[in-house]
């Protein structure tokens, strides 16, 4: 279905007709696609513009809402317990680890994801991070702005090994970019897409092989069950000396303390990050290190990605609400 073409009739006779909309890019700048919610008969509720709402704010805003177009804010069991009218949470992205899925299931709340809507934006940022890191671009630019002529050797990509942890839509795009730079790509994915065979220079391998062989490691996976970091002291000990780590996925995938130690020792030559445990971060030590490049969660922050994500998430939201209105059987807690 083309984005933005789904039309729904108002939920006639329903007691609650409110939808909470929280993605920061939308609350700050608005988006024309939101008119579709109003045309469907819903009242749109917003938090403070451009800010992720806190738990206390959600406890005030969400009760009485039947739908929730959600951003990256934490949606706790406490919040969901209070949202007695809520039927659908529609994320404007792919990740749903910010949502207490068990609480949603318990309350019969359906979770929808905007699959792949921001994949291109995130993949392009990941490769921009990679290039900036191996050629020391931010450090060189910062020095020149301070009137310093300071040069550091860079790393050419031809023949280098890029290791991917996670090879979904984003990882596959990053693979294509890397192959265009004459790199070899080794990808670990617990559910590999064997139909993806872009080149003889690409192969699926074990996680251990990615860690031990890669010159550059790029993370494109969700958090592990239980939230344990993938890049911890044990993983770092198996990596090559002078490896680069690119993280445009989730902050929790890296043990920040272990990564800082490895940077200071030279084991890790450079790190890039685009996501943080809290945003803005409470602990700035990692991102302030001169060998760390940070961006403020801008992977999907492009006009095209925002348009796709909002259109898909509104489609998902309206279709799931329509299914609930018609009293169709819905498996709660599952992706749309």
Q: What is the pLDDT of residue 329?
A: 46
Q: What is the pLDDT of residues 18-48, one digit of tens each?
A: 999 999 989 998 999 999 999 999 999 999 9
218 shares a domain with 109: no
Q: Is the pLDDT of residue 218 over 60?
A: yes
Q: Are residues 153 and 72 in the same domain?
A: no
The answer to whether 113 touches 336, Cβ cutoff 8 Å, is: yes
Distance (Å, whole) CA 238 – CA 258: 13
Residue 58: pLDDT over 80: yes
pLDDT of residue 331: 52
pLDDT band for position 225 (50/70/90)? confident
pLDDT of residue 333: 47
Measured in degrees and rounded to the nearest 5, phi and psi for residue 197 equal -135, 70
Burial bucket for residue 40 (CB in 10 Å: 0-12, 13-18, 19+) = buried
224 and 238 within one domain = yes
Tell whether 10 is covered by a domain.
no
Name the domain count of the chain: 2
Whether residues 190 and 279 share a domain: the answer is: yes
Is the pLDDT reported for residue 157 higher than 60? yes
Q: Would the pLDDT of 12 be above 60?
A: no
Q: What is the pLDDT of residue 279?
A: 87
In a domain, 8, yes or no: no
Confidence of residue 278 (pLDDT cuts 50, 70, 90): confident
Per residue in 90-146, pLDDT (tens digit) is 999 888 989 999 999 999 999 999 988 999 999 999 999 999 999 999 999 999 999
Q: Same domain for 274 and 305?
A: no
Number of C-beta neighbours around residue 289 at 10 A = 16
% residues pLDDT > 70 (the chain): 92
Mean pLDDT across 61-70: 96
Do 163 and 149 sit in the same domain of this protein?
Answer: yes
Residues 131 and 154 in one domain: yes
**Judgement on whether residues 55 and 125 belong to the same structural domain of the protein:** no
The reported pTM is 0.85
pLDDT at residue 301 tops 80: yes
Q: Which residues pair with 217 in a beta bridge?
A: 163, 245
Q: Determine the average pLDDT of the residues in 231-238.
A: 98
**Mean pLDDT calculated for residue range 162-177:** 98
227 falls in which pLDDT band (50, 70, 90)?
Answer: confident
CATH number, position 62 = 3.40.50.720
Question: Which pLDDT value is given to residue 292?
Answer: 98
> Does residue 179 sit within a domain?
yes
Catalogue the active-site residues.
Answer: 250, 279, 297
What integer best gives the mean pLDDT of the chain?
92
Q: Which domain holds residue 49?
A: 18-117+301-325
How crowded is the C-beta side of 196, counted as CA atoms within 13 Å? 21
Are the C-beta atoms of 259 and 271 separated by less than 8 Å?
yes
pLDDT given at position 324: 85
Assigned domain for 333 exists: no
Element (H, E) at 325: helix 303-325
What is the pLDDT at residue 327? Answer: 53
CA–CA separation, 267 and 207 (whole Å): 19
Question: What is the average pLDDT across 307-313?
Answer: 95
Percent of the chain with pLDDT over 90: 84
């Amino acid at each position: 279905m083309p984005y933005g073409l789904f039309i729904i009739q108002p939920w006639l006779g329903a007691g609650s007709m409110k939808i909470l909309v929280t993605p920061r890019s939308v609350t700050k700048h608005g988006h024309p696609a939101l008119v579709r919610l109003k045309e469907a008969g819903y009242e749109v509720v917003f938090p403070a513009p451009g800010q992720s709402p806190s738990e206390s704010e959600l406890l005030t805003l969400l009760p009485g809402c039947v739908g929730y177009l959600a951003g990256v804010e934490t949606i706790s069991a406490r919040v969901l317990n209070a949202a007695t009218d809520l039927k659908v949470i529609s994320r404007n992205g792919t990740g749903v680890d910010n949502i207490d899925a068990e609480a949603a299931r318990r309350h019969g709340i359906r979770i929808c994801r905007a699959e792949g809507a921001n994949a291109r934006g995130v993949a392009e940022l990941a490769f921009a991070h990679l290039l900036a890191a191996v050629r020391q671009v931010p450090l060189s630019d910062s020095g020149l702005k301070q009137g310093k002529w300071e040069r550091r050797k860079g790393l050419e990509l031809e023949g280098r090994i890029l290791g991917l942890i996670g090879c979904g839509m984003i990882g596959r795009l990053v693979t294509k970019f890397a192959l265009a730079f004459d790199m070899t790509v080794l990808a670990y994915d617990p559910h590999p897409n064997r139909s993806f065979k872009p080149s003889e220079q690409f192969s699926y391998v074990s996680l251990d092989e990615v860690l031990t062989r890669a010159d550059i490691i790029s993370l494109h996976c969700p958090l592990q069950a239980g939230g344990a970091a993938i890049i911890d002291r044990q993983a770092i000990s198996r990596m090559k000396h002078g490896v680069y780590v690119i993280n445009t996925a989730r902050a929790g995938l890296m043990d920040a303390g272990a990564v800082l130690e490895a940077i200071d020792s030279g084991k890790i030559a450079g790190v890039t990050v685009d996501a943080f445990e809290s945003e803005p971060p409470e602990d700035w030590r990692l991102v302030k290190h001169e060998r760390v490049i940070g961006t403020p969660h801008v992977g999907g922050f492009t006009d095209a990605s925002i348009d796709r994500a909002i259109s898909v998430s509104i489609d998902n939201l309206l279709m799931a609400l329509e299914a609930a209105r018609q009293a169709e059987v819905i498996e709660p807690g599952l992706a749309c």
